[in-house]
Structure 1
């Protein structure tokens, strides 16, 4: 089991609860969840995280914009973009903004989330 601390940013109450509970209970992650990019920046500045996971569509900006702003603060923290949108059109812009991994909501947002949890772990271990 992992003891990594992740910041999860998603404006869906269901998704926030499901992802947080599953990553904590099934995979041993410590998860802090916020619903906005501005909330993510505040949490990021006050707490040390091993990884940031953010939905592409947020209330106040998109996940790529959030990744770029956090890269200015700490470019050594992996950023996982969690999206239901097609990935191909987002990849180049996302990589330039500091996104290190992608997870599709449609494929990995249900059940025990083994693939999602593994992607997080691998992203963290790649920078350590």
Structure 2
């Protein structure tokens, strides 16, 4: 038996699947691919020292539903979801499903390889998740009450105008608070902010 990490690629798009296989093989990572979530689950591959990469939109069970099913089964395997239809509500749903990372198309090779290596490292050392949670909680404390309100709106997938209406302030003021939230939380993207807030609430 080998403990070398393996990456399971699940995508109904054959071209995209083979492209990822080739990239991972060239990077020296073991890879196994499946054309659907159902095929993957039926195969019952070993998930120790593993990582799952899946497209969010597939016939049958989609990527987020797969992450939810793995979580329901108690499988502690990091799941990276790739999508060409990214939006904040989808990112929120993905993070609540326990997704390790949420990557928007088009992505470059370094980004996907970086996400995979980070996911595998997190699985190898689950203490890293606790450290990430503690850091997110520390950054959240730096937000003012109004910044927290704006952040909650952003994480819920609300548009600036909707947040402005709910809080009784101008959309321009929301933009200022939004910039402050991103800066204080050290988040480069909304997906990253969603992940940090979600992790901060893990018990």
Question: TM-score per shorter chain, which class?
Answer: 0.7 to 0.9
Question: Paired residue for 2:72?
Answer: 72
Offset of residue 92 of structure 1: 1.6
Moved runs in structure 1, 4+ residues, more than 4 A?
none
**TM superposition score normalised by structure 1:** 0.85
Residues 94 and 102, structure 2, Cα contact 8 Å, conserved in 1: no
Question: Paired residue for 2:176?
Answer: none
Question: Paired residue for 1:83?
Answer: 83
Question: Paired residue for 1:17?
Answer: 18
Question: Paired residue for 2:115?
Answer: 119
Separation (CA, whole Å) in 1 of partners of 2:46 and 2:123: 18
SS in 2 for 1:46: coil
1:46 aligned to 2:45?
A: yes
Report the structure, 1 or 2, having the larger helix content. Answer: 2
Separation (CA, whole Å) in 2 of partners of 1:102 and 1:69: 17
Using CA pairs under 8 Å that are at least 6 residues apart, name the structure with larger relative contact order, 1 or 2: 1
Offset of residue 35 of structure 1: 1.0
Q: Deviations over 1:20-64 (max 9, x none)?
A: 011111x11111111111012123x23335101100011112110
**TM superposition score normalised by structure 2:** 0.55
Q: Which runs of 5+ in 2 are unaligned?
A: 125-203
SS in 2 for 1:60: coil
Question: Paired residue for 2:29?
Answer: 29
The CA RMSD measured in Å over matched residues stands at 1.5
Offset of residue 93 of structure 1: 1.1
Q: Which runs of 5+ in 1 are unaligned?
A: none
Is the radius of gyration larger for structure 1 or structure 2? 2
